[in-house]
Structure 1
Amino acid sequence: MIRYLLPIIVGLIGAVVSVSIAFIVQGLQAQQVRENTLAANNAQILAVEKGIATHLEVLYSLKALFDASDEVSRSEFTAYATPFLERHEDIQALQWIQRIEKDQRQAYVDKARAEGFPTYDVREKSSDNQMLPAPIREFYYPVYYLEPYAGNERTLGHDSPENPKRVAAIQRAATTGKESATGTFTLIQETGDQLGLLIFSPVYRDKNGNKSEQNLEGLVLVVIRVGEVIRHALGDSFNNTDLYVEDITESDVAAAIFGVMDYTTVESELISAKVIDVAGRQWRITAFPHEGTSKLSTSFLPATTLITGLLFFGFITYTIILLIRRRRLIEATVLQRTQELRSSEEKIQAIVDNTADGIMTIKADGSIETYNKACIQIFGYDPNQAIGQHIKTMLSPRYHKDCDDYLQGRNREQQGDINNFEIEGVRNNGDLFSLDLSITEMSFQGRRVFNAIVRDITTRKQEEEKLHKANAELEEFAYRTSHDLRSPLSSSITLLDITEEAVQKGDKEMSANTIGLVRKSLKSLDGLVKDILTLTQTKNMEEEAQLIDIENILDEALSKFSNMQNVERLDIQRDLTFDDELVTQKSRFTLVLENLVSNAIKYQDTAKDNSFIRISTEQQNDAFVLAVQDNGLGIPEDHQAKLFSMFKRFHPRVSFGSGLGLYMMKKSADVMGGEISFEDTGEGSKFTLRVPISPKSAE
């Protein structure tokens, strides 16, 4: 009997433990239901609060329009308000309420009628719900601008002294300078039983004056359908939660706004409530679970846990009896399995250490627990520096909040799902780089850990950017080239037809003129083709760097352009102070210099008596600097942002060109490892080329 004592004790302990666990599971399950319900309640309340805030942002935007303008026309109001209405279907109307003195009434009425509303008048609602002209009084607050008009026709021109809520809200807004909401009521255009809400924002004639009705220009008004605002804010995300909204601004009575609530059917532990300010009104939002889901109900899990525990411990008791007889065999098996497990762990560790991707494990608090060799190459931290540090140390500060949210369970999928992100990492030296991060949460030895795989994608991002830019340039090049090639061809064909007709008629003078025009058109085409060929060579030609004779290249360029129109009237000045050796691609350098000099000659300002071109060179650190400055026509300010783009012509009446010169100069400067820049001097233009003195200095 003694040899069965251990199994008997285990069985008894198992029964006690199973019952205890069943009670614990029942308590935890009830607590989880409570927490989940309250979380859903709070999320629903927050969604409504954000939805109302969104509509207040619309009101602020309209107010900003009127504050920033001396006068806002009806068409401007329509253009500004329409996008808001398209995004917010629950807005009944956006309105401008004009404060009109008694002696101004007819002028405003005539103006509205002239603007396309022939029946416009200042009206108010009679006791039998008819819209009648308002009687004479000192001032009015009619609806003067209105969007949308369709569906709100009765509202245009409406002044409602019969509505004390509207009157009180207007006076409160006028005297406080703040947004002011009415209590909820049935709108005059409402056909159902839904309540509406008016929110006013004052606009004053003197922005720095006192806040009073006498200084009031008018009010911006947003009319919202309360029920739709709340339903749109909630969407379909909270199917098991109900909402009850009431206005408690007046302390003696609470006015129901949305929903119905019976406190007798809901457990008090599952109710969430919050009071929010809606433009001076106090709304209490109460969230609670649907009827039928409002109990801290339990499932079959506790009973299942109890039965499972009893079966488990019964099985353990039976197993102990078997283990007593087979102890030696099990010990040998355990030893063998331990050795196999150790060997498997060593293999896995070897794979992790030698993979090209960085692999690390992160604790629930964000500290790094393991860190493989690839991570050293990516981040520059040794394992003894990285382990124990927070993962945010290796991320750009802009992602720190997202990191905290993720670790705390926000903004990520269920446990076990892989989440992929493209973010910015930070190396040990502080450099930022593009990082691909794959991370998943898992349970390990009873604790939460995160497994992260990281990859440096800086090179890939750079190549993607280059490819995107190249594709965009190719599309523009193909379109503009086909257009510019076709234009002179079409012109030549037409002129040849005219020439043929002139020859047949024997009109030699006409024939000679049209042939001259054909020649000019074909020369234009030939110039474009040459520029395209030059551009192709600029992009694709491989060229070794060599020692450059700067003065010789400049002399040849000036000689080449010595016969250009009006070159003799220019004062060409030289200031070549650079006396070191320049080693770079000769053809690229020549292209840039010749284009700068040619452009300065072509686009001189012949209206000036002292036209000049100043060409200078100097050394700045390890860079050669060439500057070409003139007092010519310059570059229009609105074109300067796209100065170095393809097919950009700035003075087509002065000189014809393909519009590729500045673009080719930019590409040539890039090939030489330098840059070219433009400066508007006020009296003309200054272009500056900066390139390394030699390829070694560029490194």
Structure 2
Amino acid sequence: MSTDIEPAGVVEDESFFRTLVEHGSDAIISIDADSTILFANRSVERVFGYEPAELVGEPLTTVMPERFQGTHHAAIAEYIETGERTLDWNGIELPGEHKDGHEVQLSITFEEHQYEGKRVFSGIMRDITDRVERERKLERQNEQLERFAGILSHDLRDPLNTARAQVALAKNADDPTEYLDELEHIHQRMGDLIEDVLTLTKQGHTVGEPEPVSPATVAEEAWQTVGGSAATLRVEEVGVVRADRERLLSLFENLLGNAVRHAGDDVTVEVGPLSAGDGFYVADDGPGIPESDRADVFDYGFTTDDGGTGFGLNIVESIADAHGWKVGVTDSEAGGARFEFSGVRRSENGDTE
């Protein structure tokens, strides 16, 4: 009886393994010593947006953010010359660059092999963008928990202790009513703090499903809530963008309300598009924000108003960040404050829902 029994399940057809390489979930790119792409499997289209044929013959830097390109060339040159690796080849996490320009977070394992007498380097790349975003979201949530702990331990404790002192004084006063106004002010401030903390808790750094929204329309709606009778809002058409409408409404309510509080009841506020076409601005003709304060103005608790909680602009930054926008502050043409939101994604069809 023959003992040469082939193990069950062994696959000898080489085409089977070619199919695994071509259609596996991980993108695979092979380069020569000059970093020219020799091979790309089908999954590069899912990860990078390129057809494999578009990449073959191109430099590897095609799918690499510019800031890493110099380091890559230096590392390859040193390895070929010395044989020493300047970075780990297994599971290194680096961003790649998609065809449309956005970055893709990758876990990459590098391999070296010989092909037709030449040195070939292959990178097996797994898209970990979702995992990285979950980790970042968890980190931001933990940061918020620390903020709330600070608010509860300090920002609420101080007015509470002051209120207790006022009550003690009132009990021993011939006319306790003289302390009631101060108590009312303290309780109002505590109420404002609690409302802002609840707003931050509900909004955090997340947004709902983006939809086509007109920032101009949302700004006018917010003005109905926070605008004063003597104040003026001027709105230019911004176009249609993709955003969470409720969060955008809260952004405008905080910004416009902030302008009315700091610039006066007769303030004029303008909303319009950025000249680059990638966002919008909100500007007023008030006293503006000193350049020395601009680095801190979005920090929670920062305020120049004795009655303010210092959360309004922090909420604005959180909402912008959740949408992937960048927000900055500068001078308006009238000398007031101008907040600029860039990196705003426009709606493809241009129709609001």
Same structural fold, with TM-score higher than 0.5 when normalized by the shorter chain? yes
Higher relative contact order (Cα pairs below 8 Å, separated by 6+ residues): 2
SS at match of 1:343: coil
1:428–1:661: structure 2 CA closer, same or farther, 3 Å change rule?
A: closer
CA contact 1:588–1:672 (8 Å) conserved in 2? no
Residues 618-668 of structure 1 deviation map (CA, whole Å, 9 limit, x = unaligned): 467988856341233x3232220132222111243xxx1111111223334
1:482–1:391: structure 2 CA closer, same or farther, 3 Å change rule?
A: same
Tell me by how many angstroms 1:479 deviates: 1.6
Match of 2:298 among 644, 652, 656: 644
Tell me by how many angstroms 1:426 deviates: 4.8
1:544–1:465: structure 2 CA closer, same or farther, 3 Å change rule?
A: closer
Q: 2:282 matched to 1:630?
A: no
Match of 2:25 among 356, 359, 362: 356
Q: 2:162 matched to 1:491?
A: yes
**1:406 corresponds to which residue?**
79
Q: 2:267 matched to 1:613?
A: yes
SS at match of 1:642: coil
Q: 2:211 matched to 1:557?
A: no
Spell out the pairing of 1:28-427 with structure 2 (5 A cutoff): 343-360=12-29, 370-379=39-48, 382-383=51-52, 386=55, 391=60, 394-396=63-65, 397-398=69-70, 399-412=72-85, 419-426=90-97
1:486–1:620: structure 2 CA closer, same or farther, 3 Å change rule?
A: closer
CA contact 1:360–1:452 (8 Å) conserved in 2? yes
CA contact 2:23–2:43 (8 Å) conserved in 1? yes
Q: 2:187 matched to 1:522?
A: yes
Tell me by how many angstroms 1:451 deviates: 4.8
- Segments of 5+ residues of structure 2 without an aligned counterpart are none
CA contact 2:274–2:281 (8 Å) conserved in 1? no
Match of 1:535 among 170, 176, 200: 200
Tell me by how many angstroms 1:471 deviates: 3.0
**1:662 corresponds to which residue?**
313
Residues 276-332 of structure 1 deviation map (CA, whole Å, 9 limit, x = unaligned): xxxxxxxxxxxxxxxxxxxxxxxxxxxxxxxxxxxxxxxxxxxxxxxxxxxxxxxxx
- Alpha-carbon separation, structure 1, partners of 2:345 and 2:120: 51
SS at match of 1:403: helix
**1:165 corresponds to which residue?**
none
SS at match of 1:437: strand
- Alpha-carbon separation, structure 2, partners of 1:395 and 1:437: 13
1:523–1:580: structure 2 CA closer, same or farther, 3 Å change rule?
A: same
CA contact 2:270–2:282 (8 Å) conserved in 1? yes
Match of 1:684 among 332, 336, 341: 336
Tell me by how many angstroms 1:525 deviates: 0.8
Residues 182-211 of structure 1 deviation map (CA, whole Å, 9 limit, x = unaligned): xxxxxxxxxxxxxxxxxxxxxxxxxxxxxx
SS at match of 2:313: helix
**1:456 corresponds to which residue?**
127
Q: Look up the equivalent residue of 1:517 and give its one-letter code.
A: E
Match of 2:178 among 490, 499, 513: 513
CA contact 1:631–1:684 (8 Å) conserved in 2? yes
- Alpha-carbon separation, structure 2, partners of 1:661 and 1:614: 19
State percent identity of aligned pairs: 25
Q: Mean alpha-carbon deviation: is it higher for 427-436 or for 662-671?
A: 427-436
Give the alignment's TM-score, normalised by structure 1.
Answer: 0.40
CA contact 2:225–2:253 (8 Å) conserved in 1? no
Tell me by how many angstroms 1:465 deviates: 3.9
1:658–1:437: structure 2 CA closer, same or farther, 3 Å change rule?
A: same
SS at match of 1:603: helix
**1:319 corresponds to which residue?**
none
Tell me by how many angstroms 1:484 deviates: 0.7
**1:100 corresponds to which residue?**
none
1:639–1:660: structure 2 CA closer, same or farther, 3 Å change rule?
A: same
Give the alignment's TM-score, normalised by structure 2.
Answer: 0.71
- Alpha-carbon separation, structure 1, partners of 2:236 and 2:341: 15
- Alpha-carbon separation, structure 2, partners of 1:626 and 1:390: 39
Q: Look up the equivalent residue of 2:301 and give its one-letter code.
A: F
Tell me by how many angstroms 1:493 deviates: 2.0
Q: Look up the equivalent residue of 1:520 and give its one-letter code.
A: H
Aligned residue pairs, count: 334
The RMSD of aligned alpha carbons is: 4.6
Tell me by how many angstroms 1:530 deviates: 1.6
Tell me by how many angstroms 1:529 deviates: 0.9
Q: Look up the equivalent residue of 2:261 and give its one-letter code.
A: K
SS at match of 2:267: strand
- Segments of 5+ residues of structure 1 without an aligned counterpart are 1-332, 563-570, 606-610
- Alpha-carbon separation, structure 1, partners of 2:117 and 2:323: 60
1:671–1:354: structure 2 CA closer, same or farther, 3 Å change rule?
A: closer
1:380–1:588: structure 2 CA closer, same or farther, 3 Å change rule?
A: closer
